[in-house]
Structures are given as structure tokens and as C-alpha cells.
Chains A and B, each alone.
Chain A
Amino acid sequence: MAKTGAMKSKHQRLILAIIALVAVVAAGLLAASALKDEAAYFYAPDDVKTKGVEPGKAIRLGGMVVAGSLKKAADGVTITFDVTDGKATVPATFTGIAPDLFREGSGVVAEGAFDETGTFVATELLAKHDERYMPRELEGMNYNAATHEMKADR
């Protein structure tokens, strides 16, 4: 009799623990999904297009530097480039020393604000590293995002 009583309270505790866990996980996921926009570290160009960011508002802009868009101004320290997320592209400019890993075709996160003409004026540049790690000999090979395979150029 005592044995079945112990079993019963053990089951009760297990059920109670499961209900509590489900409630806590649900609350956590709800909070996380409510944070979805707020906790984003940066705006993608498409977010800027669809949501609209007024000029002068301090934000972070993140995306890929469009290949062939990076240009150095005559003063030698100002650069202009286009940032894209594949859906939208916005022009950006930065005056200062860019991080070593900042380059065309690579990820970037820029802090700053849009000016009246729609150009993003960055006050700080961060290079965003992607999830690929490979030896130097493999550089320039084509990466297939679907199969994770490397293929030599042509």
C-alpha cells in the first residue's frame, strides 16, 4: 500500500514537472518571438525598404558588400559600397579605417544613419564572418550552399 502511494506521488510530481516545463518553455518561446524584431542586431536592406527608416535615425545596417561596388574616394579614407541582402540593395559610405576582413562579397554590419538621399552614412564598420572555414588553397573555389561542396572555378 505504501509502495503504491509512493508511486502515485512520484507520478504526480512527474506530471507537475512536465506541465511546469511546458508552461515555461511556451512562455520563453513567446517572449523570444515577441523579441524577434527588437532583438535583431541589425536591419537588412529589405527591412529598410519594407519598414522604412527615417533619415538621421541611428541604426545598424547589415548585409553583403556587392561585388564590384566598393570604391575609394579621392581623399583616400572614404569608401562607398552597396549593401544587399539579395532582395534589396542600398548604397553606403564610410570614412575611416575598415576592418581587415571587410571586402567585396563578404558580410558587413555598419552603424550609422541614412541621409536625405537614401545613402547610409556609416560611423563604424564591422566585418561579419560567415560560417565557412577553409584553407587558403581553396579560396576562389565555388561554394555550393545546398550541398556544402567546393568546386574549382570552371
Chain B
Amino acid sequence: MHAFANPARFLKIARPLTPWLFWGGLLLIGVGAYSGLFLTPADYLQGESVRILYIHVPAAWLGMGGWSAIAIAALMQMVWRHPLAGVAGRAIAVPGALFTAICLVTGSIWGRPTWGTWWEWDGRMTSMLVLLFLYFGYIALARASAEEGRGIAENGGVSRVTAIFALVGAINLPIINRSVVWWNSLHQGPSITMRGSTIDSAILWPLGLTVLGFSLWFGAIVLMRMRAILAQNKVEARLARLAREG
């Protein structure tokens, strides 16, 4: 990983990779969304509303995957003092929060016709809402430490407190994942497990396309945001030097 410690080397790889991830992801999302909306059959019980699955599941996956990545970045910052770890954490937080919000909103829209309610305080929904609030907390902490300018050179502007917050917040991830198993919940149990899938293959296949597509797209956005943060840090460092030399 330390091969990428040098921002210049990181940029050399990130710059050509970004358009591939971006357009490749968008293409898969397009094909997956078209298939999910027009080619797959309706569900025997849910009817047409089953199609919200093709965005709800990738959104949930990226909301949780985003926080996992932030926690790994925080660990790399705390232990190995990796100079890009803080930059990565800040870059992931906003799209991660966005996908968590999309997951909650699409779930709510699906819940109304399926369950008969927009929102209930069951284990899955509550823990997912907590994840959204954790993202808000992380974004606020990271922004505050970046504005203070502490450790910009070393940690990409993310303070140690922010990194600890990211690590502690990761405890919510297994809780979200297990919430429908540990507790009685309104949300159904996992459909896709190690033993197979209880989603019929006729309905399942576009889901793989949209999950992969949104993941690639997420990667592209994170790389773009990392490059923007690095460029901004560079500008700030240059301005500070000019002010000193004044």
C-alpha cells in the first residue's frame, strides 16, 4: 500500500482509472436499470414495486461499504500514518452518506405499499438511520479538522479524533447486518446468504449489474474527490508559502 503513499504516484494511477470506472459504471447501471425496469417479471406478491430492489440493494451495500472503507482508512491513518488515508476518508464520506440516504428513502417508498407503513422503528431501519447520522458526524468532524488546518500535510486534514470516531462507528456495521437475525424485525431476513439466494434468478440477475455498476461509479467519484482534495491542499500550501514569503 505504501507504493501509493506518494500522492504523485497515486495521481498517475487515479487519473487514467477515473474515466474507466465512471463510464463503465454508468453503462452497467444503465443496462441493469433497463433490464430491471423492463425485462424482469413482477414479483408474485409485491408486484411492480419489487423493481426498487435494483437501486435499494446497491445503495445499502455502498452505504455500508463506504463506512467500512472509511474505517479501514482510519486504521491506516492511526497505525501506518498513511498520508492518503485521511484524504480517502474525507472523499468517501459524502457519497457514502448519499447512498445511505438513498437506501432509506427507497426502502421507505417500498415499505408503504408492501408493509403498509412509510417508517417503523425496527432494528434494521433504526440502525441504518444511525449510520446516516454517523456519516453526518464524520463529515462535520473531518471538515472542522480540515478547516483548522491541523495535520493537512500528514493526514490529509483528518484529525485523530475523526479517525477514532470512524473506527468506533464501524461497530454499527455488524449490527445493521445482523439486525434482522438477532431481533424480530419488520424488515425481512437476508435473501442472499452463503446457502444461496431466495430471490428467483429471473428477478435476481439485473441486481448484479446495478450493484457492480454503482460500485464502479462510487469508486470513480471517490477518486475524483480525492484528486480535488489533494489539489486543494496543494493550493492552500502554496498560498500559505506565498503569504510567508509575502
Contact = CB atoms under 8 A, between A and B. Distances in A.
A147 B193 CA distance: 12
A10 B46 CA distance: 54
Interface in A116-150: 125-139, 143, 147-148, 150
Contacts of B183: 35-36, 39-41
Interface string A3-27: 0000000100110010011001101
A129 B46 contact: yes
B123 A41 contact: yes
B158 to A, nearest CB: 16
A101 B45 contact: yes
Contact of A20 (B44, B167, B175, B204): B167
B23 to A, nearest CB: 30
A44 interface: yes
Contacts of B114: 99, 101, 127, 129
Q: Interface range on chain B: under 10, 10 to 19, 20 to 34, or 35 or more?
A: 35 or more
Given A41-B183, A101-B114, A131 B189 contact: yes
A111 to B, nearest CB: 10
A105 to B, nearest CB: 11
Contacts of A35: 183
A100 interface: yes
Contacts of A128: 115, 186, 188
B6 interface: no
Contact of A24 (B43, B167, B200): B167
Q: Which of B172, B178, B188 has the most CB of A within 10 A?
A: B188
B243 to A, nearest CB: 33
A20 to B, nearest CB: 7
Given A41-B120, A41-B185, A128-B186, A10 B43 contact: no
A32 interface: yes
A17 B43 contact: no
A21 B204 CA distance: 36
Given A10-B79, A13-B78, A32-B182, A132 B116 contact: no
11 contacts: A27-B171, A32-B178, A41-B122, A41-B123, A99-B114, A100-B113, A127-B116, A131-B191, A132-B191, A135-B203, A147-B196
